Chain A
Amino acid sequence: MGQSTSTAVISSRRENNQSHRSKAKSTTLISPMHSDDVEDYDWIPDGGLDYISELPDECLACIFQSLGSGDRKRCSLVCKRWLQIEGQSRHRLSLNAQSDLLPKIPSLFSRFDAVTKLALKCDRRSASIGDDALNLISLKCRNLMRLKLRACRELTDAGMEVFAKNCKSLKKLSCGSCTFGAKGMNAVLDNCSALEELSVKRLRGITDGATAEPIGPGVAASSLKTICLKELYNGHCFGPVIIGAKNLRTLKLFRCSGDWDKLLRVMTDRASSLVEIHLERIQVSDLGLVAISSCLDLEILHLVKTPECTNVGLVSLAERCRLLRKLHIDGWKANRIGDEGLIAVAKGCPNLQELVLIGVNPTKPSLESLASNCKNLERLALCGSDTVGDVEISCIAAKCVALKKLCIKSCPVSDQGLEALAGGCPNLVKVKLKKCRGVTPEGADWLRATRESLAVNLDTGELEHQDASASDGGAQENAVEFPPPMPSQVAAAASIASSSSSRSSSLKSRLGLLTGRGLVACTLRRWSSGNGSARGS
């Protein structure tokens, strides 16, 4: 299709068209970031036709909004008008926060004068921006809503306080590998009364032991909805803000040392509106689970590698948290959570939509119970279960009527199990099989051919990168990258789980095969330095 309108019509429509139709003049310095543009556009039309090309500001801003940062950079170099509009419509900015950013701040933020979401990331080797830079930024971005800090090690408590006083509208703060401490954190909580989300990872300035200063609650306590703490030695000093956040909906604790049962109990003794809880590699036991069972609105629970949580705790939780929709359990092959707990979940939580079990050994009775009682179970992932074989798959196929997505990883399932899937789970849309030695490509092909509407994904690879899994259990299942252990090692794991000090060395030797990147490699590094001991950077 083309424009068949006449010149007269177009010129009556055009307001201020400054463009020529001339071929673009050759300019120096244009070195495209991506030189994949090979087409030669001949824009010189015949006759006197002018093309419409002057889009109003708001349309340009709308176009820029759909572009990533690299493309926006290129657009800002098109012409002066675009530079201006791009800068004014840029709400999200990510800057390399090295110390030499300081002199650029005035010009950067007069160009980008509408930034509400800012990331300041430094790398480990460089000196980061200091308090003066953060101060300057905070004066320019009074309406800042989100701030992300990464490895800005030169920022101090004083700097954070100045920032907090200037940016009182802050809604989300995420800081990782920073070195300020409780004073700085308290300054944020005392000034940013609209703060909804707080994420802290590795805050080095929180001192240990007796000198630990409590953090919170602050004026932000009533607005906070999400608190996420990772890899903190003294995470307990956040106790006051966790307990004080009356409207907290999401709590995530990852690899923070210390015993968390008591805090969970104190937190849930007061009315708790928690909807989502993630507990990973922290010291929590059935006492903690009993405390959590007071959260009657709980919908999402992740229990990852918390071997002190057993069937007992899970049963009491299942009896009260009736609204549970998503449950992820990584039992770490400790066999402390199994059929008994799962049957209680089946009976107590009819709304269950998503279930991910890693290193847990459910057998037919619990699978049947889940299938019969959880009529809305749409997504199921079973990883590293020694007890899930063809019989269990058949049971799932026969009874999980609502199931849409199924993922089986490192389980003793064979092609025979696939045969069951061909005829069962009427709503099944996708099945993913990973590292199940008994499943062959031929079996997968057969299933694809037999059931054409079903997407079958078979992965027999030894070691792969952490792929972006399409199933909803993605984050959890990708964490299991080690090969299924031999039965003797399972027994070893069970005994290891109860003595934390020997855990690191035995598992490390088992995982010695693995090299390279990924979650497991990072985990290895952490374990090898021992639990709770001081870590270098």
Chain B
Amino acid sequence: MANNGENPSPDVGGKTVKLKADDGEIFEVEEAVAMELQTVKSFFDDDGVSYDTVVPLLNVSSTALAKVIQYCRRAVELRAKSGDDEGANEKAREEREGLEAELVREESDEGIKELILAANYLNIKDMLSFLCRAVGDRIKNKSVEYVRRFFVLENDFSPEEEERTRNEVAWAFEGVDAD
């Protein structure tokens, strides 16, 4: 996975965009990849903003940004591969799922949360979606207490409130509604 501050230079002669992480590190990224980040896209959609402008991403660490860029680069490549052919689409989808699995497998719980914050701030829908699913997987079938510790949250229910909520919730079925 990405080393801190890895900044591969684009090998195509196309336009590039400069992104600045919260610690000041600059990442130069191909335009197509940068536009995956809707926040960046909106930044340039404003009239009069030249592509030379460095985009300040104050809420994203360089570690997270490097990973985001790496993922988006691969995602753009894979999307280019899939087309009308059902077989190629299937293959591209599998590869993308493999990419996602690889990304989350190596992340600590803290790391995933940071990536979620980054993907949310940068507004990358697909990435946010699979990251949230990954977190969901990590808290599935865990106790309430475990989930609190995972997210470092305190229980602010009074015992009575908690009891009441528990009882209310008892009306729902245990299983997932198949629909």
Known: A63-B136, A77-B166. A20 touches B154 (CB 8 A): yes
Is the CB–CB distance between A69 and B173 below 8 Å?
A: yes
Which of B11-19, B36-44, B141-149 contacts its partner?
A: B141-149
Is the CB–CB distance between A25 and B154 below 8 Å?
A: yes
Is the CB–CB distance between B155 and A108 below 8 Å?
A: no
Known: A1-B1, A4-B4, A80-B156. A34 touches B136 (CB 8 A): no
* Inter-chain CB contacts under 8 Å: number: 196
| Set of chain B residues within 8 Å of A25, measured between Cβ atoms | 154-155
Give A342-395 interface residues, CB cut-off 8 Å to B. Answer: none
Q: Report the Cα distance A64→B133, complex, angstroms.
A: 9
Q: Report the Cα distance A24→B23, complex, angstroms.
A: 32
Size band of the B side of the interface? Answer: 35 or more
In the assembled complex, the CB of B154 is this many whole angstroms from the nearest CB of chain A, namely 7
User: Is B50 interfacial (CB 8 A cutoff)?
Assistant: no
User: Is A146 interfacial (CB 8 A cutoff)?
Assistant: yes
Is the CB–CB distance between A21 and B177 below 8 Å?
A: no
| Set of chain B residues within 8 Å of A70, measured between Cβ atoms | 141, 174-176
Is the CB–CB distance between A78 and B169 below 8 Å?
A: no
Give B137-179 interface residues, CB cut-off 8 Å to A. Answer: 137, 139-157, 159, 161-163, 165-166, 168-169, 171-177, 179
Closest residue of B by beta carbon distance from A12: B22
Is the CB–CB distance between A83 and B132 below 8 Å?
A: no
Is the CB–CB distance between A92 and B179 below 8 Å?
A: yes
In-complex Cβ contact of A71 among B139, B145, B157 (8 A): B139
In the assembled complex, the CB of A183 is this many whole angstroms from the nearest CB of chain B, namely 27
Is the CB–CB distance between B148 and A24 below 8 Å?
A: yes
| Set of chain A residues within 8 Å of B175, measured between Cβ atoms | 68-70, 94
| Set of chain B residues within 8 Å of A486, measured between Cβ atoms | none
Is the CB–CB distance between B165 and A77 below 8 Å?
A: yes
Is the CB–CB distance between B179 and A95 below 8 Å?
A: no
Is the CB–CB distance between B159 and A52 below 8 Å?
A: no
Is the CB–CB distance between A71 and B141 below 8 Å?
A: yes
Is the CB–CB distance between A59 and B23 below 8 Å?
A: no
| Set of chain A residues within 8 Å of B147, measured between Cβ atoms | 74-75, 78
User: Is B110 interfacial (CB 8 A cutoff)?
Assistant: yes
In the assembled complex, the CB of B12 is this many whole angstroms from the nearest CB of chain A, namely 29
Is the CB–CB distance between A104 and B168 below 8 Å?
A: yes
User: Is A46 interfacial (CB 8 A cutoff)?
Assistant: no
| Set of chain B residues within 8 Å of A93, measured between Cβ atoms | 172, 177
User: Is A442 interfacial (CB 8 A cutoff)?
Assistant: no
User: Is A467 interfacial (CB 8 A cutoff)?
Assistant: no
In the assembled complex, the CB of B71 is this many whole angstroms from the nearest CB of chain A, namely 15
User: Is A252 interfacial (CB 8 A cutoff)?
Assistant: no
Q: Report the Cα distance A139→B117, complex, angstroms.
A: 37
Is the CB–CB distance between B152 and A51 below 8 Å?
A: yes
18 contacts between A and B (CB under 8 A): A4-B4, A5-B63, A20-B154, A27-B155, A27-B162, A29-B166, A36-B141, A41-B146, A43-B149, A53-B152, A59-B117, A63-B132, A63-B135, A68-B176, A71-B140, A73-B172, A76-B165, A104-B171
Q: Which residues of A come within 8 Å of B, CB atoms?
A: 1-5, 9, 12-13, 19-22, 24-25, 27-30, 32-37, 39, 41, 43, 51-53, 55-56, 58-59, 62-71, 73-80, 82-83, 92-96, 101, 104, 107-108, 111, 117, 119, 121, 146, 148
Q: Which residues of B come within 8 Å of A, CB atoms?
A: 1, 4, 22-23, 58-59, 61, 63, 106-108, 110-111, 113-114, 116-117, 120, 128-129, 132-133, 135-137, 139-157, 159, 161-163, 165-166, 168-169, 171-177, 179
Q: A64-B136, A65-B136 are in contact. List 17 more A-B contacts (CB 8 A).
A: A5-B61, A29-B162, A29-B166, A37-B146, A41-B146, A55-B151, A59-B120, A59-B132, A67-B139, A68-B175, A70-B141, A74-B142, A75-B139, A94-B173, A96-B172, A104-B168, A117-B179
